[in-house]
Structure 1
Amino acid sequence: MDNQKKEEVWLRGPIDNISPYLQPAAHALRQTGEDLNYWLSDFTDNQLWLKPAGRASVAFHLQHITGVLDRMMTYAKDLKLNDTQFEYLKNEGVENSSLSITILLDQYHVKLNEALNYFKTLDDKILIEERFVGRKKLPSTVIGLLFHAAEHSQRHLGQLLVTCSILKNNSAY
């Protein structure tokens, strides 16, 4: 993992072959990946499932960021969630000793690469097409789903960083 802080992703210019309309979402998703690598570089697997002050564990946030990204891409493609995705959702935050920071980070980066590759396939006209979310078929658009994936990843990254900082800097953990 590269632990050197660089200019934030959005300050490095456009990501090749991604619509200007999707650049902010692509930048936020890529920034999430880089920040996860940076902040978790010296975090231990023993701390992964701890819940300081009863808050969600770092593992939950890693799983949830990855799961939401996967689900939003599925909805953006106008597909329904499959059994594997429902099982993943059910297990977000459920302690699993076979998972490690490395595995969870790798899972995020796989989904990140899939998402960015998907972004590259999108024509601007499709971005305003209506899509539906979940069993209730709540309305959204392709661009709405993609931006939600990005902002949601940043929201959970912030929560993960606070939890991570507490665990790293408190000898009780």
Structure 2
Amino acid sequence: MRGTFAEVDAVRRQVLHALELAGEDAAKWCYGLTDEDVNARPFGVASVAFHLRHMARSLDRLLTYAEGRQLSDEQMAALRSELAAGATVAEVLEEFRVGLDSAASRVMGLKGYEEVRGVGRAGLPSTVGGLMVHCAEHTQRHVGQMVTTAQVVVGMRRIA
């Protein structure tokens, strides 16, 4: 409802808006977080760093499937390292920014919403359009979790 991306079809426009909003939320809610904050796991929940990494990397994986390709060894290694501790704020925000930019470009290059695509080793059935919508939905779900975790971390810092 922003009136942006008016030249783009409705489905693609909504995916691009979801990615744009994710970038804005990350910038807003991660502002002022320390390296310790982004790695904190209050009450055992996943860290802000995890969510930022996971969003960027899952977009890459989902769009790889939408493009009709299988994951590379590098993508699989990146998947396995998403929970790693010790990230800096600058590192995870940059990876997230680059991931969003790449995803937006790749979304623009996709064609044929109804084309069937297999997901994962099992080749679970999906379509190009289904994967695009999942990119938006999955990203927004993790943005919500990242924002909540960031708020809890800041709140705990204030009462400590």
Using the size of structure 2 for normalisation, the TM-score is: 0.92
Give, in angstroms, the shift of residue 18 of structure 1.
2.9
User: Offset at 1:48?
Assistant: 1.6
How big is each residue's C-alpha offset from its partner over 1:79-106, in whole Å with a ceiling of 9 and x where there is no partner? 01001100000001111x3x31222111
Which ranges of structure 1 fall in alignment gaps of 5 or more residues? 1-10
User: Which segments of structure 1 move beyond 3 Å, counting only runs of 4 or more?
Assistant: none
1:69 alignment counterpart: 59
Deviation of 1:12 (Å): 2.2
Q: Percent identity?
A: 37
* TM-score, normalization by structure 1: 0.86
Higher helix share: 2
Q: What is the 5 A alignment of 1:124-135?
A: 126-135=112-121
Q: Pairwise mapping of residues 114-153 of structure 1 onto structure 2 (< 5 A)?
A: 114-123=102-111, 126-153=112-139
Offset of 1:115 from its aligned partner?
A: 1.7
Larger deviation, residues 139-148 vs 111-120: 111-120
Aligned residues: 159
Q: Deviations over 1:147-173 (max 9, x none)?
A: 111111111111111111011011366
Is residue 56–residue 95 contact of structure 2 (8 Å, CA) maintained in 1? yes
Cα separation, 1, equivalents of 2:62 and 2:47: 22
Matched, 1:87 2:93: no
Contact 2:52–2:93 under 8 Å retained in 1? yes
Secondary structure (helix, strand or coil) at the match of 1:38 reads: helix
Specify which of 76, 95, 98 is matched with residue 110 of structure 1. 98
Q: Which runs of 5+ in 2 are unaligned?
A: none
Contact 1:19 1:120 in 2 (8 A): no
Tell which deviates more after alignment, 136-145 or 18-27.
18-27
The answer to whether the Cα contact below 8 Å between 1:48 and 1:59 also exists between their aligned partners in 2 is: yes
